Amino acid sequence: MLSKSQARTFFLGGTGVFAAIFLALTVDSMKRIPALTHADQLTESVVRGKRLWEANNCMGCHTLFGEGAYYAPELTQVVERRGKPWIRLFLKDPEKMFPGERRMVNYRFTDAQTEDVIAFLDWCGHVNLQGFPPKPPLRDLLRPAAVTASGTAASQPELFRTICIACHSVGGVGGVVGPALDEVYRRKTRDEMLVWIADPQKLKPGTPMPVIEMTDAQRAEIVDYLLDLAGRTPPPANGRPTPKTPAEVYE
């Protein structure tokens, strides 16, 4: 049993020790912040993008670093997840990228403002958050199995590699919003693909597939690439087409 004076000494001594440890850890954390946040990459464009983020109250719907509202997607690593070309198109016309679904306001940013917002989000994605945000545990299970190793990014048209791959996948690489396109040539002819890409809403009103602005040459390049997969993809077992994945929700 401690006497009153011993108990007082123990309490004050313990409080002093743990307070010193807390202060030391705080100082150490503060010293690490510039390296963890890549403060040397805070360009003027990034700063302007942050001001646009705050001025338009983007946190009223989105979260960043886990802080904000949960009405719209978390954007800490949106540049890594979607890619800059896709984000440019989305900010230009949010409704166009998700027909009949998105409620995001079109802020009508200028091209320069759009680049500033992207620069800010790109900087956010490179901040070392010690494992945050966590990877979705079932995301890899939803990806279609790779059926060919030839559909690499190097062989893909630029527009497909920067825009289409955000929703579709080839060879098990890409998004899972739309159907995998490894064997789309089995389901559609060249002319059908060209017409579908040109105006999906006309053929199937309400489809999640947006109309992406592109030239006839770019559209043909994408279709020819998908048709070229026919010569590189092994035939399905028993002559039956490969079953659709859970992601193939609007084909």
Query: Per residue in 120-147, pLDDT tens?
Result: 999 999 999 888 777 766 655 555 444 4
Burial of residue 72, with CB atoms counted within 10 A of its CB: 0-12 exposed, 13-18 middle, 19 or more buried = middle
Indicate the angle between helix axes 111-125 and 44-55, nearest 10 degrees.
100
Tell whether the model's pLDDT for residue 111 goes beyond 90.
yes
The percent of residues in the chain predicted with pLDDT above 90, rounded, is 40
pLDDT at 98: 74
**Residue 70: what are its φ and ψ, rounded to 5°?**
-115, 25
CB 233 within 8 A of CB 148: yes
The predicted-structure confidence for 53-99, as pLDDT tens digits, reads as follows 999 999 999 999 989 998 898 999 999 888 898 899 899 888 877 76
pLDDT, the chain, mean:
83
All structural domains of the chain: 39-125 (1.10.760.10), 139-239 (1.10.760.10)
160 or 154: which leads in pLDDT? 160
The predicted-structure confidence for 168-211, as pLDDT tens digits, reads as follows 888 888 887 889 998 998 989 999 999 999 999 888 888 888 88
What is the rounded CA–CA span in Å between residue 179 and residue 177? 7
Q: Where are the alpha helices (DSSP H) in the chain?
A: 4-36, 44-55, 78-82, 84-92, 94-97, 111-125, 139-142, 158-162, 190-198, 200-203, 216-228
Tell whether the model's pLDDT for residue 243 goes beyond 70.
no
CA–CA distance from 115 to each of 45, 61, 122, 221 (Å)? 8, 21, 10, 27
Tell whether the model's pLDDT for residue 213 goes beyond 90.
no
**CA-based R_g, the chain, Å:** 25
Q: How many CB atoms lie within 10 A of CB 112?
A: 9
The predicted-structure confidence for 17-39, as pLDDT tens digits, reads as follows 999 999 999 998 888 888 888 88
